Chains A and B, each alone.
Chain A
Amino acid sequence: MATVSITVNGNKVSRDVEPRTLLVQYLREHLGLTGTHVGCDTSQCGACVVHIDGASVKSCTTLAMQCEGASVTTIEGLAKDGKLHPMQEAFREHHALQCGFCTPGMIMSAVDLVEKNPGLTEDDIRHGLEGNLCRCTGYHNIVKAIAAASKTMGR
């Protein structure tokens, strides 16, 4: 066992874990933050996307140990003071989900995409979602939501 200390959603946490513990296991099983989902478990579907030091990454393909000292943001960390993040609000407004399983990862990827790329076109958004799979919506409303949020984020 080894102690891993990470700042998760602004709170510094420490847990004793086996070195083979994945970040997604650390979040879900050790911290009880089950908003981050495990979909394919093979780095493809993006349901497990979180931010590590400001970059969106797949937490099923990252060891918790690699995140020692890092700052991690999960879907639970987006809303502030009971108010949804503009991206969450846009997903709600544009009905950008059906079953909702991919949604946490989709939103975390979308936030990173918008933050790093001002002036996104529809094409940029569709390509930017390459690492996130949704099997219900056909992506159309997701793209609409992200386009809308790109105009409200940062205001």
Chain B
Amino acid sequence: MYAFNYHKPKTLAEAQALIGKLPEGKLLAGGHTLIPTLKQRLAQPSDLIDIGGIAELKGLTVTASAVTIGAGTRHDEVARSAEVKKAIPALALLASGIGDRQVRARGTIGGSLANSDPAADYPGAVLGLGATVHTTKRTIKADDFFKGMFETALDEGEIITKVEFPVPKRAGYMKFANPASRYVMVGSFVAETAGGIRVAINGAGPCAFRWAEAEKALAAKFAAASVEGLKHKADGLNSDIHASAEYRAHLITVMTKRAVAQAGG
């Protein structure tokens, strides 16, 4: 790691003031992406602003219509929450499959989303459920949030404060994890929401994206068989040593079928 200065603000206002005057600074949440990145010297921030101690970023609230998760909430808390399991079981299931137990004890939803790693889990749920991302400046709809590989709609210094997931009629999430790293190779989050069917694919492309063709087929009939004959284009999908774009395209259909079945379709 290159050397950096370390700050630990106690409030969101202090964190905002710091990031505003430290243009080469970076926010540190759970640190489970940023610290490995620093260890490989892939980033050289002048300062780390540790937002892990800010109480107003933590916690969960569940109502009949929405699950709202503070940006600093750890994956483990979401995975183990009886209220989340009841309101949106697929969301708790997704959180329970991120990394391993030790990673889930540190990693946060805000950190995961701000990073927008193509192989992350949470972007699938945010896009699949049509969540709203709240920040220190505004609210951002899921459909406008993910912009590309490690790229989001967030401005410099803008901090995610919470994520609001509308409770769907039903939802399912399935992923094909890399056999060694367990990162997502292809994931599919399927939800029947008040606004219609949503199918979000993570792991396959530069960032999470919706699969319109499957949404249309599932709107006609919410059943795994509706997706059977569909095939996503391989063009534009990620291709690396773990899987070719063609293989990922194949997995999109398979994971979507399984996600629909899990949702009860």
Binding site for B on A (CB under 8 A): 2, 18-20, 22, 41-44, 46, 49, 55-58, 61-63, 65-66, 68, 109, 112-113, 128, 130-131
CB of A42 within 8 A of CB of B36, answer yes
In the complex, residue of chain B having the shortest beta-carbon distance to the beta carbon of A44: B181
| Pairs A-B, 6 closest by C-beta atoms | A131-B100, A19-B6, A130-B100, A55-B105, A20-B1, A131-B102
- Give the distance to chain A from B241, nearest Cβ to Cβ, in Å: 17
CB of A19 within 8 A of CB of B101, answer no
CB of B3 within 8 A of CB of A20, answer yes
CB of B105 within 8 A of CB of A57, answer yes
Among B6, B35, B102, find the residue whose CB has the most chain A CB atoms closer than 10 A: B102
Q: Please, could you name 10 A-B residue pairs with CB atoms under 8 Å apart, sorted by A?
A: A18-B3, A19-B4, A19-B48, A20-B1, A43-B102, A58-B103, A65-B8, A66-B28, A131-B99, A131-B100
CB of A61 within 8 A of CB of B1, answer no
CB of B32 within 8 A of CB of A43, answer yes
CB of B101 within 8 A of CB of A128, answer yes
B169 at the interface (CB under 8 A from A): no
B233 at the interface (CB under 8 A from A): no
A contact residues around B2 at 8 Å (CB): 20
- Give the distance to chain B from A155, nearest Cβ to Cβ, in Å: 24
- Give the distance to chain B from A141, nearest Cβ to Cβ, in Å: 21
Q: A58-B106, A62-B106 are in contact. List 15 more A-B contacts (CB 8 A).
A: A18-B3, A20-B3, A43-B32, A43-B103, A56-B105, A58-B103, A61-B32, A61-B106, A63-B35, A65-B50, A66-B52, A109-B101, A109-B102, A113-B101, A130-B101
B182 at the interface (CB under 8 A from A): yes
A contact residues around B39 at 8 Å (CB): 41-42
Q: Bound state CA distance, A62 and B31, in angstroms?
A: 7
CB of A130 within 8 A of CB of B1, answer no
In-complex Cβ contact of B3 among A19, A49, A68, A109 (8 A): A19
A contact residues around B99 at 8 Å (CB): 43, 131
CB of A131 within 8 A of CB of B101, answer yes
In the complex, residue of chain B having the shortest beta-carbon distance to the beta carbon of A65: B6
Q: Bound state CA distance, A27 and B141, in angstroms?
A: 44
A contact residues around B32 at 8 Å (CB): 43, 61
**1/0 contact trace for B97-120 toward A, CB 8 Å?**
001111101100000000000000
Q: Bound state CA distance, A68 and B6, in angstroms?
A: 12
CB of A2 within 8 A of CB of B6, answer yes
Q: Bound state CA distance, A46 and B32, in angstroms?
A: 14
In the complex, residue of chain A having the shortest beta-carbon distance to the beta carbon of B32: A61
B contact residues around A2 at 8 Å (CB): 6
A contact residues around B182 at 8 Å (CB): 130
In-complex Cβ contact of A57 among B50, B102, B181 (8 A): B102
A contact residues around B35 at 8 Å (CB): 22, 61-63
B76 at the interface (CB under 8 A from A): yes
In-complex Cβ contact of A68 among B8, B38, B103 (8 A): B8
B contact residues around A43 at 8 Å (CB): 32, 36, 99, 102-103
Among A2, A46, A66, find the residue whose CB has the most chain B CB atoms closer than 10 A: A66
Q: Bound state CA distance, A61 and B37, in angstroms?
A: 10
B contact residues around A56 at 8 Å (CB): 101-102, 105
- Give the distance to chain B from A152, nearest Cβ to Cβ, in Å: 22
B contact residues around A66 at 8 Å (CB): 28, 31, 50, 52
Task: Enumerate B1-31 residues with CB–CB distance to A below 8 Å.
Answer: 1-6, 8, 28, 31
- Give the distance to chain B from A98, nearest Cβ to Cβ, in Å: 22
Q: Bound state CA distance, A60 and B50, in angstroms?
A: 17
B contact residues around A63 at 8 Å (CB): 6, 28, 31, 35, 48, 50
- Give the distance to chain A from B206, nearest Cβ to Cβ, in Å: 23
A contact residues around B48 at 8 Å (CB): 19, 63
